[in-house]
Structure 1
């Protein structure tokens, strides 16, 4: 059974198909359609349509209020370099890593097999060594940056060939 948040996310992503990079919605109409409170719509927007997920949201409150969601279109290598240089700091938790990997797979920057390997490399199981979590998170950040640099390099080579 699909959770309400997942259903709302999927609905919005279907509206943002390949051709459309922007959609405008009315929060109350969307809440009515899904039979939920407008705050549930806000939750989905905040957690699944943030800049880290590749989206910008803009909203206007009031009677004629709306929500505009814009998918930020970046080429694969450009997106990867943003992640390496701006998004991933010196520390990255497992959940954050898995979210980034999922986005890369969704955006077809990595294959499902590559995503599975990446997720395995940053998993708690792979890092089950007797060191503090802060060190494990620092290792995850370095590993993610290294993997992303390799993928960006591969993508550049494919474009040149």
Structure 2
């Protein structure tokens, strides 16, 4: 169903792919938008329990697109170093494909807590709990990952 990476020597291990997902703080969600146009939007996320989670307003282009067609992709760029003398960049990136859905119940609580911990883990616990409570009016969206790959510049592969 999903294509194999053409340059498979550059395929990152599952462990390295997860590490990229854990350390990065933003990615680009791509979905099918209005009138069949692609809609790609940068957002903050957390990779938690083998899923990607992000919050969303309950109205707008992003949530409308997800409700209309839950098939999405999500891309993260971990590194992109320009190497002008070689006319290239040294990069690491990840792309995931899956189905997006609105999260509810216990999953909402644990995933939103993980999101808050990722971005505000150094804040007092009482403040974090207050913030989580105040965000109960927002949607939390999960991407149930069906396929995920990481790719890195061939120069990183050769240096090992």
Please indicate the TM-score interval, normalised by the length of the shorter structure.
under 0.3
Higher relative contact order (CA 8 A, sep 6+): 2
Which of the two has greater helix per residue? 1
Q: Considering only CA atoms, is the larger Rg found in Structure 1 or Structure 2?
A: 1
Q: TM-score if structure 2 supplies the norm length?
A: 0.25
Q: TM-score if structure 1 supplies the norm length?
A: 0.25
